[in-house]
Chains A and B, each alone.
Chain A
């Protein structure tokens, strides 16, 4: 109290701050927090004169029947009877309101999200200008995240135009908070955007914070720094080229050549699952290409692959290694009397 210069000064400051936010307020003061809440709900009346509705007890029907309508009347009732009729919880709440029992209240935490709007001083229609403005908001976001030891997995930038608005979503591979990194990703997104009309204001929103601990950068190019560099590279490539543009390869236990590999997230491959097949080409064609028989000189084979009857895409092919007239080595098969090129031994 002394710190704020007395109760009146404190209330005045609160009132000023709340008025600035244009909120409708009702003030009430009481020795205990719960009583203050009740009094403010009851329009600032004295505790004894408050109607029972402000307390939020669920025994309203019972109290109405016995002719009790204010907190003061309730307090005059014998405690044992009240406890029997309405339970101990009601008595505990009353004690907390009177200040005879301590109450542990949860501290207010700001919501884990960020939203900020920036009016642009002039209409902007090019990506560089937008990025420059967005950087100011990203720095604010970084400050909030740093205070909460958190990072974001994605954010959205809304470009408010005179008639419409465009939403730019940026996703990250791992939580991050540095404004520089977020800005670089945003630049790739903005570069692919074509704006129909100039932007008047921008709004940056981010939620879904996840904990992020500050990491110290290695003095030398260590493995950790390299992994981080890799993640950032993957993020940038996917931001511009699309999420499917970067993938890893994995083997899959299936004899059919087109099913024996999979597109996976880069880095997901367990070499223990791999069974050594026969000779396989390094290039597989997207679709087998019909070839003429007189162009081929068969060098090795056949290797019969007959499989897949269970999933409706059954294959029954004889594979050969063949040299073409231009001396390239191909992996060809014969099916239903026709020859097809399926891969190249590049």
Chain B
């Protein structure tokens, strides 16, 4: 063994080329992503920023496998100030244990930042999903410190414009829809820079249906639809 190899083995020397150290993480459930994320999944004990162009491109489906795994293991998940109603049937269908999920409504920016900090400091929250319209660097820094003290996965959903601002997050990803798929670009991570955007094979709602649409009916009653073999709930 050469002295260099010996040193590298004995001391925790950070190497630029090697992507990551052994950081604590929750597997994301997507092999493509886990391979590029430090620790092999969503980092815990630090902020993860998810910057999306718009809503409805799969930003939640990206986190669902991790949330399902956490909740079924009895860990608690908090959704803080979500922009719409989190839809229980869809979450349950994805395998999330709803008994371990709580939604917190916070009217103002200060209240939501306060609630996020309380949740992280309580030690009883293992994943925090938060939607902040805007937050200053100092406020995010405060959250990052609280996140470090906890062992929680903290995902902050922020608008794409926030990518230009500095951030204390240990992972920042930008989401883009590309030909009906979700492309994830890692803007910042612990370790070396990531190169190309990753195509993440999300579970599409269309797979469950496996059918292309027929022309929209102008009118029709349930009996007619039944004879066509289309789903009817009545």
Whether the pair B92, A251 counts as a contact (CB closer than 8 A) is yes
Whether the pair B92, A271 counts as a contact (CB closer than 8 A) is yes
Checking A318, A321, A344 against B216 with a beta-carbon cut-off of 8 angstroms, the contacting residue is A318
A250: chain B residues within 8 A (beta carbon): 88, 98
- Per-residue CB contact flags for chain B residues 60-74 toward chain A (1 = under 8 Å, else 0) read 110010000000001
Whether the pair B233, A305 counts as a contact (CB closer than 8 A) is yes
B89-108: which have CB < 8 Å to A? 89-94, 97-107
Q: A306 with B233: in contact, given A233-B124, A299-B206 (CB under 8 Å)?
A: yes
Whole-angstrom CA separation of A232 from B118 in the bound complex: 10
Interface-central residue, B103, B107, B111, B233, by most chain A CB under 10 Å: B233
A191-250: which have CB < 8 Å to B? 221, 223, 226-227, 229-230, 232-234, 236-237, 240-241, 244-250
Checking B90, B100, B107, B125 against A282 with a beta-carbon cut-off of 8 angstroms, the contacting residue is B90
Whether the pair A281, B87 counts as a contact (CB closer than 8 A) is yes
B206: chain A residues within 8 A (beta carbon): 279, 299-300, 321
Total interface residues on B, CB under 8 Å, equals 64
Whole-angstrom CA separation of A257 from B87 in the bound complex: 9
Q: Is residue A57 contacting chain B, with contact meaning CB distance below 8 A?
A: no
Q: A346 with B205: in contact, given A229-B122, A248-B101 (CB under 8 Å)?
A: no
Whether the pair A241, B104 counts as a contact (CB closer than 8 A) is yes
Q: Is residue A283 contacting chain B, with contact meaning CB distance below 8 A?
A: yes
Whole-angstrom CA separation of A249 from B100 in the bound complex: 9
B57: chain A residues within 8 A (beta carbon): 327-329, 346
Whether the pair B177, A286 counts as a contact (CB closer than 8 A) is no
Stretch at the interface among B11-19, B22-30, B31-39, B207-215: B207-215
Checking B88, B118, B225 against A237 with a beta-carbon cut-off of 8 angstroms, the contacting residue is B118
Whole-angstrom CA separation of A247 from B56 in the bound complex: 24
Whole-angstrom CA separation of A248 from B99 in the bound complex: 7
Whole-angstrom CA separation of A267 from B222 in the bound complex: 38
Checking A233, A266, A303, A329 against B118 with a beta-carbon cut-off of 8 angstroms, the contacting residue is A233
Q: A307 with B234: in contact, given A241-B104, A281-B90, A346-B58 (CB under 8 Å)?
A: yes
Whole-angstrom CA separation of A86 from B4 in the bound complex: 110
Whole-angstrom CA separation of A323 from B89 in the bound complex: 21
Whether the pair A240, B103 counts as a contact (CB closer than 8 A) is no
B146: chain A residues within 8 A (beta carbon): none
Whether the pair B92, A304 counts as a contact (CB closer than 8 A) is no
In the assembled complex, the CB of A61 is this many whole angstroms from the nearest CB of chain B, namely 68
In the assembled complex, the CB of B182 is this many whole angstroms from the nearest CB of chain A, namely 10
Q: Is residue B198 contacting chain A, with contact meaning CB distance below 8 A?
A: no
A244: chain B residues within 8 A (beta carbon): 105
Whole-angstrom CA separation of A240 from B88 in the bound complex: 26
Q: A300 with B205: in contact, given A230-B122, A269-B98 (CB under 8 Å)?
A: yes
Q: Is residue A262 contacting chain B, with contact meaning CB distance below 8 A?
A: yes
Whether the pair A269, B123 counts as a contact (CB closer than 8 A) is no
For the A-B complex with A229-B124, A233-B118 known, give 11 more contacts whose Cβ atoms are closer than 8 Å: A240-B114, A244-B105, A245-B104, A267-B102, A277-B93, A283-B87, A284-B86, A285-B84, A285-B85, A304-B225, A327-B180
The 5 A-B residue pairs with the shortest CB-CB distance, nearest first, are A328-B56, A344-B56, A261-B88, A229-B124, A279-B205
18 contacts between A and B (CB under 8 A): A229-B123, A232-B122, A248-B102, A250-B98, A251-B92, A280-B87, A280-B90, A284-B84, A286-B84, A298-B213, A301-B209, A304-B222, A304-B225, A318-B217, A320-B216, A324-B56, A329-B57, A346-B60
